[in-house]
Amino acid sequence: MDNNLRVKRAEEEITQQELANAVDVSRQTIYAIETSKYDPSLELAFKLARYFDCSIENIFEPNLD
């Protein structure tokens, strides 16, 4: 799954650790999502969307290939 989590985080000027704390996951989880090594659960995707006050689709794009 493609995502622009790193871009969203940079726009807010927050660290991976700050975002991780806000959505109650580890910094390593945020890193893994940003590098497309881990697809978040639906619950985590909603938490991230709420944090950035946007829709899930503004952060994540399914790879339909």
Instruction: Give the pLDDT confidence score for residue 62 in this predicted structure.
Output: 78
Residues 2-51: name the CATH superfamily.
lambda repressor-like DNA-binding domains (1.10.260.40)
What are the extents of the domains in the chain? 2-51
Instruction: Give the pLDDT confidence score for residue 41 in this predicted structure.
Output: 97
Block means of pLDDT (10 residues each) for the chain, length 65 residues? 94 98 98 96 98 96 75
CA separation for the pair 33, 35 (Å, rounded): 5
CA separation for the pair 63, 65 (Å, rounded): 6
Instruction: Give the pLDDT confidence score for residue 65 in this predicted structure.
Output: 65
Decide if 51 contacts 59 (C-beta within 8 A). no
